[in-house]
Structure 1
Amino acid sequence: MITISHFFQVLWTTVQAVMPIAAILFVFQLVVLRKPVARLPYVILGFGYVILGLSLFLMGLDAALFPLGEMMAQQLTAPSFLAQVRLNDADPQHWINYYWVYLFAFCIGFSTTIAEPSLIAVAIKANKVSGGSIGVNGLRVAVALGAAFGITLGSYRIVVGDPLHYYIIIGYLLVVIQTFYAPKMIVPLAYDSGGVTTSTVTVPVVAALGLGLASTVPGRSPLIDGFGLIAFACLFPMISVMGYAQMTQWLNRKRSLMEKKDNAL
């Protein structure tokens, strides 16, 4: 239950977390750079908005996102629900019977990543720096598709109980290979895109999904199998962004060749 005392407790915790950041910024501005802070009242007001917003967001996580993610995972893996929708009657615990879990994981991964504020900020900056050659929506969709696929694959791993490191090793080997063939201008952006997906909106829902799924699938441990899902959300956007750039580069080359042939004729 949300109470006034709970709000002030979360508010004080947020103040303790934000104050060191503010102190470092002000010390470097005033002591190292030796310049006054421009529009100081607005800066202080902005920090106030940050502290208040983070406090309300953290309270919202505890009250809504975490319980909702765990509840959805528990309901989708409940024996009564699986008995109604299962495709393999010979083995009730067969991985294919959890197809609704995979669909939910894909949808929740895509929607939370699209709404990620850090991804929106990176996409806008990339669009400005590239002179418009990198589209804001195109980058967001590419990252969201990668995160959605990664979370879906991570949910499958929890269901079947495979070791996590096999998936991660193979995924990063693919990233290394793509790095050599992807356009050089997109590689750093792709690496950053993997990090911005694991932020304020995605992490709480994905963590709740993984823990709820591991606690309800028979034979799975929430501690061993429940965590690691966020690693998939961080890894696969790098693959999808570089793949998107490689596909775009290939289409542009094909279009240029066709235009040269038309001009020759």
Structure 2
Amino acid sequence: MSGLLQEILWSLGGTVIDVLPIITIILVFQLVLLRRPIPRAKRVFLGFVYVIIGLSLFLVGLERALFPLGELMAEQLTRPEFIYTHAAELDLHVDWKDYYWIYIFAAAIGFSTTIAEPSLIAVAIKANEVSGGAIGVWGLRVAVALGVAIGIALGSYRIVVGDPLHYYILAGYVVVVIQTFIAPKLIIPLAYDSGGVTTSTVTVPLVAALGLGLAETVPGRNPLVDGFGLIAFASLFPIITVMAYAQMSEWMEQRKAQSSSQELS
């Protein structure tokens, strides 16, 4: 218990140091440049205290739960005795297809963590309000979550086979550029922001731990070279899926309009 308390105190001290520049900048701009008092100063101060405590406990939780859990799942799913059903087959060569449970787990964990991402929920609600309901809350959340699921599964495949990261990223952004010219203009800025929304509190720890754990357990992989990069996939593919979601929605609306005009005529 004393070790946990010490870890929390160390995390608390580090968080105070990290948050202090933010507080300083806000105070300088508010009190020195704008020369206005902070409205509801006690409430704002209490909010900063909540932020510091919450971030400290969150960082401790990452080290004690989320990072070890992601690495443990990657280790267990890549064990030869799990990949092969018979002990006599343990000496066989492992092919990329033998890691299919890793791809399924990566897609499932990517989808579920993104659906639970608080920042995505906030962005989806605001987008729904600003668009007057044209952008559905659940439609946007599912589109982003599907993009993360596809991206992390593909990124896991890249770690298994050992392909260079930049081939996948360059190909993905070629698709993004092409979609940018043909997707509805309303969705393009939101689609680009959706990629950044996924790199937040819930998704990043598990994804990073999964990548490092996978690179450590797959033979011939370097955790430093191959373990990182999954977050880039999680940021790229939601842009593609959100614009695809808008394109499909626009196409369906056009089909409905055409069928309605045919019925009237």
Q: TM-score, normalised by structure 1?
A: 0.96
Instruction: Establish whether residue 107 from structure 1 lines up as the match of residue 108 from structure 2.
Output: yes
Instruction: Establish whether residue 252 from structure 1 lines up as the match of residue 253 from structure 2.
Output: yes
Instruction: Establish whether residue 263 from structure 1 lines up as the match of residue 264 from structure 2.
Output: yes
Deviations 1:186-240 (A, max 9, x none): 0000000000101111111001000100111111111111111110000000000
Please report how far the alpha carbon of residue 34 of structure 1 lies from its aligned counterpart in structure 2 after TM superposition.
2.2
Gaps of 5+ in 2: none
- The CA distance in 2 between the partners of 1:68 and 1:180, in whole Å, is 41
- The CA distance in 1 between the partners of 2:148 and 2:21, in whole Å, is 32
Please report how far the alpha carbon of residue 4 of structure 1 lies from its aligned counterpart in structure 2 after TM superposition.
1.4
| Aligned positions of 1:108-127 closer than 5 A | 108-127=109-128
- The CA distance in 1 between the partners of 2:138 and 2:63, in whole Å, is 30
- The CA distance in 1 between the partners of 2:258 and 2:56, in whole Å, is 56
- The letter for the 2-side match of 1:176 is V
Secondary structure at 2:224's aligned position in 1?
coil
- The letter for the 1-side match of 2:79 is A
Please report how far the alpha carbon of residue 32 of structure 1 lies from its aligned counterpart in structure 2 after TM superposition.
2.0
Tell me which residue corresponds to 1:27.
28
C-alpha contact 1:14 1:55 (8 A) present in aligned 2: yes
Tell me which residue corresponds to 2:139.
138
Secondary structure at 1:224's aligned position in 2?
helix
Tell me which residue corresponds to 1:64.
65
- The CA distance in 1 between the partners of 2:116 and 2:222, in whole Å, is 30
Tell me which residue corresponds to 2:168.
167
Of stretches 117-126 and 46-55 in structure 1, the one that deviates more from structure 2 is 117-126
- The letter for the 2-side match of 1:204 is P
| Aligned positions of 1:102-251 closer than 5 A | 102-251=103-252
Secondary structure at 1:84's aligned position in 2?
coil
Deviations 1:134-172 (A, max 9, x none): 111111111001001000000001111111111000000
- The CA distance in 2 between the partners of 1:205 and 1:218, in whole Å, is 21
- The CA distance in 2 between the partners of 1:17 and 1:121, in whole Å, is 24
- The CA distance in 2 between the partners of 1:240 and 1:249, in whole Å, is 14
- The CA distance in 2 between the partners of 1:91 and 1:163, in whole Å, is 26
- The letter for the 2-side match of 1:244 is Y
Please report how far the alpha carbon of residue 132 of structure 1 lies from its aligned counterpart in structure 2 after TM superposition.
1.6
Deviations 1:20-52 (A, max 9, x none): 111111221222222221111111111111111
Please report how far the alpha carbon of residue 90 of structure 1 lies from its aligned counterpart in structure 2 after TM superposition.
11
Kindly tell me: are residues 36 and 186 of structure 1, through their superposed partners in 2, closer, same or farther at Cα, counting changes over 3 Å? same
Kindly tell me: are residues 218 and 164 of structure 1, through their superposed partners in 2, closer, same or farther at Cα, counting changes over 3 Å? same
- The CA distance in 1 between the partners of 2:217 and 2:192, in whole Å, is 34
- The CA distance in 2 between the partners of 1:249 and 1:31, in whole Å, is 50
- The CA distance in 1 between the partners of 2:29 and 2:132, in whole Å, is 32
| Aligned positions of 1:19-98 closer than 5 A | 19-84=20-85, 92-98=93-99
Please report how far the alpha carbon of residue 8 of structure 1 lies from its aligned counterpart in structure 2 after TM superposition.
0.8
Please report how far the alpha carbon of residue 116 of structure 1 lies from its aligned counterpart in structure 2 after TM superposition.
1.2
Give the aligned length: 263
- The CA distance in 2 between the partners of 1:254 and 1:196, in whole Å, is 32
Secondary structure at 1:3's aligned position in 2?
helix
CA RMSD of aligned residues (A): 1.7
C-alpha contact 1:85 1:97 (8 A) present in aligned 2: no
Kindly tell me: are residues 62 and 89 of structure 1, through their superposed partners in 2, closer, same or farther at Cα, counting changes over 3 Å? closer
- The CA distance in 1 between the partners of 2:27 and 2:131, in whole Å, is 32
Please report how far the alpha carbon of residue 89 of structure 1 lies from its aligned counterpart in structure 2 after TM superposition.
9.7
Secondary structure at 1:162's aligned position in 2?
coil
Deviations 1:66-122 (A, max 9, x none): 000000000000011111289x99964111111110110001001111111111111
C-alpha contact 1:71 1:212 (8 A) present in aligned 2: yes
Identity %: 66
Secondary structure at 1:67's aligned position in 2?
helix
